[in-house]
Amino acid sequence: MNIDSIKNGIVIDHIASGNSMEIYELLKLEELDCSVAIIKNAQSRKMGKKDIIKIDADVDINFDVLGYIDPNITVNIIKDGVLVEKRHLSLPKELVNVIVCKNPRCITSVEQGIKHIFKLSETENGVYRCAYCETKAKNQ
């Protein structure tokens, strides 16, 4: 795979340097068959250093996960070698099965098959709370 050019796929850009592995895991990219490139510490005029992930296939990715980790990330969608969409992210209102509640008194700690739901409770500070027990999610 030539990491500079993707024909059909997704480039996740402006990842804060060092966060790419976490995104790789949360998006479950290890499950993909196609080539995936992680570029660490790329030069960035804006950020100094940044990480980039390139996925060489047109896959569905969970934009909520990305928005939660870092709303400054941009996602470029490439079709036939052309940039067709540049998506800017925002903090999602709700996160389902992305993070789990750390409160041992929370029902999610024992109930099998339960959806782990967090809701954005303070937009300005990016605070998420567990939908069940209202415990604050630990900051990334």
Site track 77-116 with another protein (rule: CB under 8 A), x = hit: --------------------------x-xxxxxxxxxxx-
Among candidate residues 43, 65, 40, 70, the one with its CA nearest the CA of residue 54: 40
Contact (Cβ atoms closer than 8 angstroms) between residue 120 and residue 94: yes
Residues interacting with Zn ion, by CB under 5 A? 101, 103, 106, 130, 132-133, 135
- For the CB of residue 124, give the shortest distance to another protein in the complex, in Å: 12
Under the binding rule (CB under 8 A), the answer on residue 35 touching another protein is no
Determine the Cα–Cα distance for residues 26 and 46; give it in Å rounded to an integer: 25
Token output for 128: 């998420």
